[in-house]
Amino acid sequence: MNRSLACLLALLIATWPVTAADAPVRKPNILILLADDLGYADVGFQGCKDIPTPNIDSIAKNGVRFTNGYDSGPYCSPTRAGLMTGRYQQRFGHEFNPGAGPNIGLPVTETTLADRLKQAGYVTGLVGKWHLGSADKFHPQRRGFQEYFGFLGGAHAYLPERKMGGAILRGTTPVEEQEYLTDAFGREAVAFIDRHQKEPFFLYLAFNAVHTPMQAAEKYLKRFDHISDPQRRTYAAMHSAMDDAIGAVLAKLHETGLEENTLIFFFSDNGGPTMKGTTINGARNDPLRGSKRQTLEGGIRVPFVVQWKGKLPAGKIFDEPIIQLDIVPTVLAAAEADAKDAKLDGVNLLPYLEGKQANGPHDTLYWRFGDQMAIRRGGWKLVRYGSNTTLAASEMTPKLYNLAKDIGESNDLSTQEPDRAKELQAAWDKWNAELAKPLWGAGGKKEKE
């Protein structure tokens, strides 16, 4: 080919119009919004009347609401361990909240969602509560997150003048945060999206709202002068701050043109803490029975929604049971990321939500929390529960409930349906035999070998 012809060919290639089909397809952004100790009844899409949650509700309006959305544990850290791995956390001994210690945290043998997405070309960031170990080797930036702003423990003060919960960190550097903490987390999440709007990102925004301590900024308290109960009023104010922060994040996605290319999950890490009918933070779990730290529905069934505009149907209600473990395989499928070695317990929900796959994603779901246990198969649930992880002899006999007819778990059918109870117990026993011994006890202290 002579030089003139080569130059002409290069010019034609350079000026040839690029169509949408020719343009590279950008992988979807991933946004996980996690509330802390949120009551089942305390969002508008679940029927809440006294606390407006317009921004959280918009995710349900524009996406899919799960009426049977579960966590794999009834309190904070175990749920997060399952979320980050897509595996039942009892498989690797992360059954209880960790205390302090050099070897107490999400085992480094486990690969996190952030690890996998980082390898797939995503920029990864965590804003908020970690609660998966405070030693250096468990730090978020050693577990796949390139950027981090938040605190490492299980709780933190919200008001800058209050001191509780250790340092707020940017990466590994302590900072003096002057804003109300929920506002600061919203600010940092918006800034992360702004910085990385040109590349696929994974943002895990893990609020500590509405976990104790009960502290609200005055500007939020003023919204709820009509609520006479001071505890409920503070809870409402803290919840409203979280909804505002979520609204700011959603607005940034819209502003940057990323709204339709972002897969968003919102859920709570467990039910509201309403043990023995006395709420710890003001939460309500109606119509469910039970509380955080229990395997009754009030401890493990949570508000749960997903949105992916243009990909998933808007306003859809999905009644089949799902669990937070499903987020990892769903996200990896959306990101076209490799998960062949993952040994996941979760299921990719996309075919079910898109109507390409009939039936439900799970035949059976399982729980173990010390002596407490539960198994759900179809509408039936066998559960052993109490107020502690170690149960008295009188509490060790499981109860059988038909959740399809008795969502409040008020009518024990174990004597009327003994064969069904035995079948579920046998299935749970088989699953339980696969699990590891807890790496530390319920008090966060490392177990003796």
Q: Which residues are catalytic?
A: 76, 131
Handedness of CA 137, 196, 259, 16 (dihedral sign): negative
From the centroid of its chain, how far is CA 15? 47
Residue 317: count of CB within 10 angstroms of its CB: 11
Tokens 């794999």, residue? 72
C-alpha span between 353 and 319 (Å, rounded): 11
Alpha-carbon gap, residue 32 to 329, rounded angstroms: 14
In the block, which residue shows the tokens 């969502």?
407
Q: How far apart are CA 287 and CA 40, in angstroms?
A: 8
Distance CA 79, CA 100 (A): 18
Long-range contacts of 365-369, Cβ-Cβ distance < 8 Å, separation of 24 or more: 365/70, 365/321, 365/323, 366/88, 366/428, 366/431, 366/432, 367/72, 367/73, 367/74, 367/295, 367/300, 368/90, 368/95, 368/432, 368/435, 369/73, 369/74, 369/78, 369/95, 369/96, 369/293, 369/295
Q: Spell out the SS3 assignment of 404-422.
A: CCCCCCCCCCCCCCHHHHH
Cα–Cα distance measured from residue 215 to residue 161, given in angstroms and rounded to the nearest whole number: 11
What the block records as the tokens of 325 is: 């473990």
Tell me which residue of 318, 305, 309, 314 sits closest to 359, measured CA to CA. 318
